Chain A
Amino acid sequence: MSLEEPEPDVPVVDESLAVEQSPDELAELLGDLAIDREEHLNAPGFVVRPDEVQDALFRLRDEAGFDHCACVTAQEYENRYESIYHLRKFDDPTQEVSVVVPAAKDEPVSRTAEPVFRTADWHEREAYDLVGIDYEGHPDLRRILLPETWQGHPLSLDYDQERPQIVTLREHANPLQADQRDEADADTMYLNIGPHHPATHGVLHVKTVLDGEQVVDVESDIGYLHRCEEQMAQQGTYRYQIMPYPDRWDYASSGLLNEWAYARAAETLADIEVPDYAQIIRTMGAELCRIASHMLAVGTFALDVYGDFTAIFMYAMRDREKVQNILEDLTGQRMMFNYFRLGGVVWDLPEPREEFFEKVRDFVDDLPEALQEYHDLISSNEILQVRTIDTGVLPPEVAKSYGATGPVVRGSGVDYDLRRDDPYGYYSELDWNVAVEDGCDNYSRLLVRLREVEESAKIIEQCVDLLESWPEDDRTIQANVPRTLRPDDDTEVYRAVEAAKGELGIYIRADGTDKPARFKIRSPCFSNLQTLPEMSNGEYIPDMIAALGSLDIVLGEVDR
């Protein structure tokens, strides 16, 4: 695999596809396929018959350029099931369209979208697992988050939470059972990597088939850290009770980035305008989190490749520590911040402000030197280059089809960053660049992260300047938001932010109460992890481990 030349970037798509289509033009394009039309707050929604899903998606992808299937949301209504395919364009993510596919209440069957977007594979498995829609033609429709033996679908309406899950031991597959291969398959060996393994960064179980030292096939088995985050969010009120949960998705110091995903979706839903001052604080906090998160990613990636608790890992932890001290000053917490509020942030910068600014500036000023150290130790190390260049290759078209985002897709040369392309916060007012590398390999993903730390530092510096000169009487940290939010019945929205790992999106459907009727989390790690077989089949075990490290997954976010 590593010997293949990365495919040339993009040009397959012709120019006309980048042109923005109005909802009416899209309706015209879909023609008879669209049997009804809905309005979601972020995009027009077209209702499509369950057996014509593929036609509609193919048409939107090939003729209108919607090449990014960001998310698949499934939900159950009183009278029907529904799957929503949230599509957008890698070239311009502000262009969105939702394909709404209803399915019958008594027999929820819907055609799979897997042939159109590879990413639908896992998303539909999750929809089947949690909601219970049967995707006809799906290559491998099994439960993904819950155990194989689970009874019922927890997010369906008639699910009885009180009912104990009594499953006899006999029905559980024994992961340790003897691996007896038949004669025909005598050349390969099956190996369980994880759920407890030093390189899986948490409880990931990679079922690996080896031919000698080479990987023939890998299959990720996830769900060990499933904590029903979506359901918990559905039981919380918009205003206060949901905000603490995002901190626990990607818990490796990206808390504020995650909070922003919920804040953005809920603010769009409830039509809340966030004051500029709060937006700047949010931007600064989010970028600090991004640095902390990337430091951890670089450190653990080096750990995976180097093998022991090496200097790089400790240096990365040391620099992350500095960020966490700043975040602690700002939010009062080191990891579980709970700092954002709908309409702003919970409190202003710590007093004395000068001291805080100085601390942040000191950190930002020291960063170039620290980064130089990383470049000396890691990226310019010849052995590391031998290990990472041209291994774990992920061609851009494959990455897009799997819905990979963040540093993973940017390491494959796809220039996609929601901070710039679908602006929110204060990013559009600031001067910074998107880091893109077109090597498509483990090394490019490492470089992207290191360069993003640099860009984040630029953003933080500008935010500090702005905050320092902000007029004292205009420091509004929160908009005026009613104590209880009750968005109108049947309003739907999908909104995403650029989290450390990629596009972190939230879909919310309101039902007129103060709690969401459906709360769906589109986790970047979930989609990114799906690309692992593409990157590692045919490679050596160490390269598979390196590829896994370069994906930078956090299982808390994969499993939610």
Chain B
Amino acid sequence: MTAGGASLASSLAAFAPVVLQSDGGGSGGAGPTLLPETIANLLGLQGVLGDVVGGLIGAFIIANLMLATTAVAGPWAKRKITAAFTDRIAVNRIGPFGLLIIAADAVRLLSKELVVPEGVDRPAWDIAPLILPFSALLGFAVIPFGSGLQLADPETGLVFVFAVSSIASLGLIMMGYASNNKYSLLGGLRAVASNIAYEIPLVVTAASVVLFTGTLQMSGIVEAQTAPLVTIAGVSIPSWFAFVNPFAFVLFILANVAEVGRNPFDIPEAPTEIVAGYQTEYSSVYFVLVYLGEFIHIFLGGAIAATLFLGGPAGPILPGFVWIYLKMWAFFLFTQWARSAVPRLRIDQFLDVGWKGMLVLSFANLVLTAIIVGVLAQ
């Protein structure tokens, strides 16, 4: 074993105590104060009233933050990024760098006619576009943004985030079924098939991280990544799980891309085949909601990846919030890069990759991690 390997092993051993104390649960009080609490304290409110008001205002802040991020990402950043990849200029007429296109587009999209096709399954058709952004926004409740920006920190944080984000599948199949359109139906079915196929590798890979941390609590996962992994010439590299287990990181990012339905795994939408699938029949406000939902899901995917593998809000100099924000944008950039460069797979090939490739690899990763962690714990 090389010297580097030895130091790696020794730093891995640092996790062993964490693993052992797992049944004690992460001590809730040890983490930083949560956002609702801070707000309640600022307002001088206490008890139930403080919890409710603080919680509502905190949720309002975080949700609007994410909606604003999506507003920048959707009508502006996505166009600019794609344009950069394809030798174009993209929006540049309204405002500095064309930024005011965001306002113009918002007005344009919201003022369009809401076309309700004949024969749609009414309550389901209307509810589905609401479910999509809500499931993603709910996920942000437990994401530790650093700088004291975290709404809740339950012990089951990781399970919660996966659970709520997969509510989106329900929305997708509702959209597909209720639209009374065959393309939508195909798209909805494809969405469910892909979510099932890729959610398992996604969660199993995340479980391999939990083996290290010994806790499902998001703040605990972030904290476990603060210890230095190796120190080279005075620069200490933190033990982010992307460095500890890069293989799991790659698996997780791939499954994540599939989960949020981006190229090369955008099979459920596939504009050239099934004409945007489940969203074919949605226009105006509903279209905006669907679109918002998709983008918030990308950012949520980025936030989960950042929390699990990239140390969450950790980073030098800049405040934690900026760091996790940058990491989320990096994931967004990655999805747009893939969109411009990678061909889409065929539905059967896509499912093959999921069931025969990712699933096997993610379980292999889990077993190997379990063995390594187990050996180190001895």
Interface set of A (CB-CB < 8 Å, partner B): 189, 191, 197-199, 213, 302-311, 313-315, 318, 377, 381, 383-384, 386-387, 540-543, 545
Add 10 more A-B contacts to A309-B86, A381-B342 (CB < 8 A).
A198-B271, A213-B186, A213-B348, A306-B342, A307-B266, A310-B86, A311-B86, A381-B343, A383-B345, A387-B346
> Is there contact, CB below 8 Å, between A542 and B87?
no
CB distance from A312 to the nearest CB of B (A): 9
* CB neighbours of A384 from chain B (8 A): 343
Q: Of A191, A213, A310, A318, which is within 8 A of B341 by CB? A: A310
> Is there contact, CB below 8 Å, between B264 and A383?
yes
The CA-CA distance from A305 to B346 in the complex, in Å, is 9
Q: Of B272, B343, B344, which is within 8 A of A199 by CB? A: B272
The CA-CA distance from A306 to B341 in the complex, in Å, is 8
> Is there contact, CB below 8 Å, between B263 and A307?
yes
B46: CB under 8 A from chain A?
no
Q: List 8 A-B contacts (CB under 8 A).
A: A198-B272, A307-B344, A308-B340, A311-B86, A315-B86, A377-B341, A381-B342, A542-B346
> Is there contact, CB below 8 Å, between B347 and A314?
no
Chain B interface size range: 20 to 34
List the 8 closest pairs (A to B, CB-CB), nearest first.
A314-B86, A307-B344, A199-B272, A383-B343, A306-B343, A384-B343, A542-B346, A311-B86
The CA-CA distance from A315 to B270 in the complex, in Å, is 21
* CB neighbours of B271 from chain A (8 A): 198, 307-308
* CB neighbours of B341 from chain A (8 A): 310-311, 377
> Is there contact, CB below 8 Å, between A314 and B346?
no
CB distance from A552 to the nearest CB of B (A): 15
Interface set of B (CB-CB < 8 Å, partner A): 82, 85-88, 182-183, 186, 263-264, 266, 270-275, 339-349
A213-B186, A311-B85 given as contacts; is B345 within 8 A of A387 (CB)? yes
* CB neighbours of A315 from chain B (8 A): 86-87
Chain B CB within 10 A, most for which of A197, A310, A387, A540? A310
* CB neighbours of B183 from chain A (8 A): 191
> Is there contact, CB below 8 Å, between B344 and A306?
yes
* CB neighbours of B266 from chain A (8 A): 307-308
* CB neighbours of B340 from chain A (8 A): 308, 310-311
Q: Of B85, B86, B272, B342, which is within 8 A of A545 by CB? A: B272
The CA-CA distance from A198 to B264 in the complex, in Å, is 18
Nearest A-chain residue to B85, judged by Cβ = A311
> Is there contact, CB below 8 Å, between A305 and B275?
no
Q: Of B87, B272, B349, which is within 8 A of A307 by CB? A: B272
A311-B86, A541-B274 given as contacts; is B344 within 8 A of A189 (CB)? no
* CB neighbours of A540 from chain B (8 A): 346-348
The CA-CA distance from A309 to B90 in the complex, in Å, is 13
Q: Of B182, B339, B346, which is within 8 A of A310 by CB? A: B339
Nearest A-chain residue to B88, judged by Cβ = A314
A213-B348, A386-B349 given as contacts; is B343 within 8 A of A545 (CB)? no
CB distance from B359 to the nearest CB of A (A): 19
Q: Of A310, A314, A377, A542, which is within 8 A of B273 by CB? A: A542
CB distance from A491 to the nearest CB of B (A): 47
CB distance from A168 to the nearest CB of B (A): 23
A198-B275, A545-B272 given as contacts; is B347 within 8 A of A308 (CB)? no
* CB neighbours of B342 from chain A (8 A): 306, 381, 383
* CB neighbours of B86 from chain A (8 A): 309-311, 313-315
> Is there contact, CB below 8 Å, between A387 and B343?
yes
* CB neighbours of A189 from chain B (8 A): 182
* CB neighbours of B347 from chain A (8 A): 213, 540-542
CB distance from A229 to the nearest CB of B (A): 29
> Is there contact, CB below 8 Å, between B85 and A197?
no
CB distance from B229 to the nearest CB of A (A): 33
> Is there contact, CB below 8 Å, between B82 and A309?
yes
* CB neighbours of A309 from chain B (8 A): 82, 86
* CB neighbours of B182 from chain A (8 A): 189, 191
The CA-CA distance from A307 to B343 in the complex, in Å, is 7
Chain B CB within 10 A, most for which of A318, A384, A541? A541
The CA-CA distance from A302 to B340 in the complex, in Å, is 11
* CB neighbours of B87 from chain A (8 A): 311, 314-315, 318
Nearest A-chain residue to B346, judged by Cβ = A542
* CB neighbours of A318 from chain B (8 A): 87
> Is there contact, CB below 8 Å, between A543 and B346?
yes
The CA-CA distance from A307 to B268 in the complex, in Å, is 12
CB distance from A256 to the nearest CB of B (A): 27
The CA-CA distance from A308 to B338 in the complex, in Å, is 11
Nearest A-chain residue to B267, judged by Cβ = A542
CB distance from A311 to the nearest CB of B (A): 5
The CA-CA distance from A307 to B346 in the complex, in Å, is 11
* CB neighbours of A541 from chain B (8 A): 186, 273-274, 347
The CA-CA distance from A319 to B186 in the complex, in Å, is 36
CB distance from B253 to the nearest CB of A (A): 17
The CA-CA distance from A311 to B84 in the complex, in Å, is 9
CB distance from A212 to the nearest CB of B (A): 9
> Is there contact, CB below 8 Å, between A308 and B263?
yes
CB distance from B278 to the nearest CB of A (A): 15
The CA-CA distance from A141 to B264 in the complex, in Å, is 43
CB distance from A298 to the nearest CB of B (A): 13
The CA-CA distance from A442 to B114 in the complex, in Å, is 40
* CB neighbours of B274 from chain A (8 A): 541
The CA-CA distance from A377 to B87 in the complex, in Å, is 15
A198-B272, A309-B82, A542-B270 given as contacts; is B345 within 8 A of A386 (CB)? yes
CB distance from B57 to the nearest CB of A (A): 39
CB distance from A181 to the nearest CB of B (A): 12
* CB neighbours of B344 from chain A (8 A): 305-307, 383, 387, 542
CB distance from A297 to the nearest CB of B (A): 15
The CA-CA distance from A198 to B346 in the complex, in Å, is 17
Nearest B-chain residue to A543, judged by Cβ = B346
The CA-CA distance from A315 to B82 in the complex, in Å, is 13
* CB neighbours of A311 from chain B (8 A): 85-87, 340-341
The CA-CA distance from A313 to B341 in the complex, in Å, is 11
> Is there contact, CB below 8 Å, between A199 and B346?
no
The CA-CA distance from A310 to B86 in the complex, in Å, is 7
The CA-CA distance from A198 to B274 in the complex, in Å, is 9
The CA-CA distance from A383 to B183 in the complex, in Å, is 24
Nearest A-chain residue to B349, judged by Cβ = A386
CB distance from B266 to the nearest CB of A (A): 6
The CA-CA distance from A347 to B347 in the complex, in Å, is 53
CB distance from B77 to the nearest CB of A (A): 16
* CB neighbours of B275 from chain A (8 A): 197-198
* CB neighbours of A302 from chain B (8 A): 343
* CB neighbours of A304 from chain B (8 A): 272
Nearest A-chain residue to B86, judged by Cβ = A314
* CB neighbours of A377 from chain B (8 A): 341
CB distance from A315 to the nearest CB of B (A): 7
CB distance from A370 to the nearest CB of B (A): 12
CB distance from A59 to the nearest CB of B (A): 45
The CA-CA distance from A315 to B88 in the complex, in Å, is 10
CB distance from B258 to the nearest CB of A (A): 14
Nearest A-chain residue to B344, judged by Cβ = A307
CB distance from A356 to the nearest CB of B (A): 26
CB distance from B95 to the nearest CB of A (A): 24
CB distance from A173 to the nearest CB of B (A): 18
Chain B CB within 10 A, most for which of A191, A303, A313? A191
> Is there contact, CB below 8 Å, between A308 and B339?
yes
A213-B186, A543-B346 given as contacts; is B270 within 8 A of A307 (CB)? yes
The CA-CA distance from A50 to B216 in the complex, in Å, is 83
The CA-CA distance from A371 to B370 in the complex, in Å, is 49
Nearest B-chain residue to A388, judged by Cβ = B343
* CB neighbours of B88 from chain A (8 A): 314
CB distance from B239 to the nearest CB of A (A): 34
Q: Of A191, A303, A314, A543, which is within 8 A of B272 by CB? A: A303
* CB neighbours of B346 from chain A (8 A): 386-387, 540, 542-543
The CA-CA distance from A213 to B85 in the complex, in Å, is 32
* CB neighbours of A545 from chain B (8 A): 272-273
